[in-house]
Amino acid sequence: MRRRHTLSQTQIRRRNMSNIGQDSAARLLEVNNIEVVYNDIVQVLRGVSIGVTEGKIVSLLGTNGAGKTTTLRAISGLLKPENGHIREGYIKFDGNDITNVLGTKVVTLGAVMVPEGRRVFKHLTIEENIRAGSTTRKDGSKKIKADFDAMYQLFPRLTEIGNKMAGYCSGGEQQMIAIARAMMAAPKMLMLDEPSLGLAPLLVKEIFENIKHINKEMGTTILVVEQNAKIALAISDYAYIMESGKIVLEGHSKELQNNPDVKEFYMGITKGGNRKSFKEVKSYKRRKRWM
């Protein structure tokens, strides 16, 4: 039985039209029509294509279980430990084919991921966490030290709280540690898996300001995965929306912010401008699925 998607055929057509939105020549990352299966049977991604242009912030949005984390795992070479692999399609990063290559290789090529749930090294100190990020670097201790200091400038809070064990830090602090740790690998492209997860709104804002800063001031290309479409669309240049293992909509973030369906489904805003309750949106979604 074919599964249906929330967003309609017209939107998929619209998606193809807006494909011209990103200049394909300067693409740092190109994910082309990939299919990912776990345990050789469970197909999770069913032909996903996304592109990330150098210097931009791109967001990948979707509800729980859409396949966002799987997409990031596929790019970062981290499917294998989960017993998954890319069955079809290819991924190119910075001119290199990275389809089904090892995670270590992807990091040395310059694509680094901040995992979902931050995953700091709980029993290591904050400094050790950040230093661990530089394991793969070969460009000399001077540059590494400079980047280390830059991380503390980016996150002054990490200095304020002292060099304690990362496991005892708050969620927001752990997110900062995880980002600093990934940045120490000197990535060309930083990938973040739901950085807003479980954080208070004020902290979410702060973290996204940091992400913007990393992009604008440090020149790192960003691919951010989010369920919080509102904040992600606010900082990104381009966005993809994923459902049940497929991209159902894509476009410039500004356009998507004004798209009534996106507003409805992912930002919980009705046409009247009121915020809809999660429950209402959910039942509406369920209804629409059968139409």
Partner 1 sequence: MTYFIQLLISGLVVGSIYALSALGFVLIYKSSRVLNIAHGQIIASGAFIAYALTVYAGVPLIISFFLSMVITFFLSMAVERVFLRRLIGEPIISVIMVTIGLMSIIDGIIYLTPFGSTNMSFPKFFPPEPLNILGATVSWTQVVGVVLTAIIIAALSWFFKNSTLGISMRAVSDDQLASMSIGISVPKVFGLAWALAGLTAAAAGGIIGNITGLNFDTLHAFGIIVFPVVILGGLDSIGGAVVAGVIMGLIQQFAAGYLDGNWGLQGTAEVLPYIILLILLLFKPHGLFGTHEIERV
Ligand X SMILES: Nc1ncnc2c1ncn2[C@@H]1O[C@H](COP(=O)(O)OP(=O)(O)O)[C@@H](O)[C@H]1O
State which residue, 67 or 172, has the beta carbon closest to ligand X.
67
3-state secondary structure of 220: coil
Contact 240, 3 (CB under 8 A): no
133 binds partner 1 (CB under 8 A): yes
For 198, phi and psi rounded to 5 degrees? Answer: 75, 10
Size of the site for ligand X (CB under 6 A): 12
Q: Minimum Å distance from CB 286 to ligand X? A: 17
Tell which positions 151-180 bind partner 1, by CB under 8 A.
Answer: 165, 167-169, 178
Q: Which stretch binds ligand X (CB under 6 A): 38-46, 160-168, 172-180, 250-258?
A: 38-46
22 binds Mg ion (CB under 5 A): no
3-state secondary structure of 34: strand
Q: Minimum Å distance from CB 72 to ligand X? A: 8
Query: 87, 17, 79, 48: which is closest to 240 by C-alpha?
Result: 48
Q: Which stretch binds Mg ion (CB under 5 A): 36-44, 64-72, 76-84, 132-140?
A: 64-72
Calpha distance 21→4 (Å, rounded): 26
Calpha distance 89→142 (Å, rounded): 40
Tell which positions 57-76 bind partner 1, by CB under 8 A.
Answer: 76
**Count of alpha carbons within 13 Å of 188, Cβ hemisphere only?**
15
196 binds Mg ion (CB under 5 A): no
81 binds partner 1 (CB under 8 A): yes
Which of residues 35, 128, 206, 261 is near partner 1 by CB under 8 A?
128
Instruction: Say what angle helices 201-216 and 171-183 make with each other, to 10 degrees.
Output: 10
Calpha distance 153→59 (Å, rounded): 25
120 binds partner 1 (CB under 8 A): yes
Of all residues in the shown chain, the one whose CB is closest to Mg ion is 69
Q: Which stretch binds ligand X (CB under 6 A): 47-55, 60-68, 165-173, 183-191?
A: 60-68
115 binds ligand X (CB under 6 A): no
Q: What is the DSSP letter of 179?
A: H
Q: Which does 64 bind (CB under 5 to 8 A by kind): partner 1, ligand X, Mg ion, none?
A: ligand X
Which of residues 4, 13, 123, 285 is near partner 1 by CB under 8 A?
123
195 binds partner 1 (CB under 8 A): no
State which residue, 87 or 145, has the beta carbon closest to ligand X.
87
The β-bridge partners of 191 are: 113, 223
Contact 77, 98 (CB under 8 A): yes
- Give the burial string for 268-288 (b: 16+ CB within 10 Å, else e): bbeeeeeebeeeebeeeeeeb
Query: 113, 85, 82, 83: which is closest to 100 by C-alpha?
Result: 85
Contact 37, 85 (CB under 8 A): yes
23 binds ligand X (CB under 6 A): no
68 binds ligand X (CB under 6 A): yes
Query: 43, 38, 35: which is closest to 87 by C-alpha?
Result: 35
Q: Which residues bind ligand X (CB under 6 A)?
A: 38, 42, 44, 62, 64-70, 82
Residue ranges that bind partner 1, judged by CB under 8 A: 76, 78, 81, 102-104, 106-108, 112-115, 119-124, 128-129, 131-136, 165, 167-169, 178, 181-182, 184-185
